[in-house]
Chain A
Amino acid sequence: GENVEQHPSTLSVQEGDSAVIKCTYSDSASNYFPWYKQELGKRPQLIIDIRSNVGEKKDQRIAVTLNKTAKHFSLHITETQPEDSAVYFCAAAVSARQLTFGSGTQLTVLP
């Protein structure tokens, strides 16, 4: 089955700096790569996703890049703000019905 590794497990950045979270996956058949944000005590929510026919996708301050050859994908957050502090999960799926999540990254944005 699919195995997703996520790094780093914790990340602290100064407000206004950029943050990068990286994930690798094992199943070359995976074709869907979403990112979820989970604020403390809340539910995970989708923030951005990318499919395997696209190399990069951007939505305001967040962007995701995908390298299918190397089987890795990354989340980039620019101009970080305190409200970006949360746990971020990457995931990979061959079909939309079975996502395999990474272990999560606790991002802390320091004021």
Chain B
Amino acid sequence: DTAVSQTPKYLVTQMGNDKSIKCEQNLGHDTMYWYKQDSKKFLKIMFSYNNKELIINETVPNRFSPKSPDKAHLNLHINSLELGDSAVYFCASSPVGAGELFFGEGSRLTVL
């Protein structure tokens, strides 16, 4: 049973296209996140949702739009993809107050 699952695992697309990544967690956690890991391995938070409510929105282009239909799902939609968007995007979840992040397997996005 995968705790935090993301789809797709790999995504190759052309500049200018729109794409979505989906994330689901079956841990019963209240908080979910999107992190971006660039080619230098740097992990940077993009968004955080608590019980479907946006609580963290770092400086991210407005081409990135998260959506949380319920507390077990957090999707990421990216419009007008650019070369610099190429990265691995990790979804994560955590229980309230406990601190540990449980990451998904990552979605490797390549923009050509």
B63 at the interface (CB under 8 A from A): no
Is chain A's interface secondary structure helix, strand, loop, or mixed overall?
A: strand
Q: B103, A97: Cβ atoms under 8 Å?
A: no
Return the CB mask of A28-39 against B: 1 if under 8 Å, else 0: 000010101010
B: interface residue count bin: 20 to 34
Distance in angstroms between the alpha carbons of A99 and B98 in the assembled complex: 12
Given contacts A43-B104, A43-B106, A44-B90, contact A96 B41 (CB under 8 A): no
Distance in angstroms between the alpha carbons of A46 and B99 in the assembled complex: 10
Return the CB mask of B72-112 against A: 1 if under 8 Å, else 0: 00000000000000000010001011111101111000000
From A104, which residue of chain B is reached at the shortest CB distance? B41
Residues of A participating in the B interface, judged by any CB pair closer than 8 Å: 32, 34, 36, 38, 42-46, 49, 87, 89, 93, 96-101, 103-104, 106
